[in-house]
Amino acid sequence: MMRMRSNFMRNRMLRKATKRDSVPLNLVSMIDIFTCLVFFLLLTSTSVQTIRSPRSLELPSSVTMQQPNDTPVLMVTGQDITLQGQAVMTVAQAEASAGDVLPELKSQLLLVPLAQIQGAAPNALTRGEINIMADKDIPYSLLKKVMITAGQAQFARISLSVNHRSTRVVAP
């Protein structure tokens, strides 16, 4: 009887020892970590900004590291010049225009409000930045007129939209 009792006690002690060695899984902290991970991935995956271009516009390709800013968009298609989706003038009118400044476009660009340049003199004003989306087949002379007109309308930064091209180099 004593031997049976000692086997029973030994088995009981072994069961208690194995129960002490197993660590319970804390699901609350694991759920917290996964929640933080999901929010991190959602916030970082939406940081890419793209500007939609119409089907009638084919942008040139370029290797650039800068992301586009949220600025007024001046679009030059094969037929029209539009500012924020509103037609300003036709390409034929712009090409036929004498001089480097396009008066119809300048009058529309002057409607964008002026802002004070930070850290500059009190009378230093600018309209900020403008983004020009031009078809890759638009002649440079017309694009130059559009950029000069934007400069005359006090836009401090003029950006050109391009399609991002990879920097992969093909071996000869």
Residue from 123, 82, 128, 127 nearest 105 by CA: 82
pLDDT, residue 135, reads 84
- Which segment of 59-73, 89-103, 119-133, 145-159 scores lowest on mean pLDDT? 59-73
* Residue 149: per-residue pLDDT: 92
Query: Residue 140: which H helix or E strand, with range?
Result: helix 140-152
**Cα 88 to the chain's mean position, in Å?**
26
- What 3-state class would DSSP assign to 83? strand
Domain ranges of the chain: 2-45, 61-164
Q: What mean pLDDT is predicted for residues 143-147? A: 91
pLDDT band for 169, please (50, 70, 90 cuts): low
Asked if the model's pLDDT at residue 170 lies above 80, the reply is no
Q: Is the pLDDT higher at 12 or at 172?
A: 12
- Report how far residue 138's alpha carbon sits from residue 169's, in angstroms, rounded to the nearest whole number: 28
* pLDDT band of 89, cuts 50, 70, 90: very high
Strand partners, 64: none
Which of helix, strand or coil describes residue 63? coil
pLDDT at res. 20: 58
pLDDT of residue 11: 80
Q: What are phi and psi of 152, to 5 degrees?
A: -65, -25
The predicted pLDDT at position 126 comes to 79
Beta bridge partners of 133: 75
The model's confidence at residue 12, banded by pLDDT at 50, 70 and 90, is confident
Residues 55-76 have pLDDT tens digits of 666 766 666 666 655 678 888 9
- The C-alpha atoms of residue 165 and residue 15 are separated, in whole angstroms, by 65
Kind of pairing, strands 86-90 and 80-83?
antiparallel
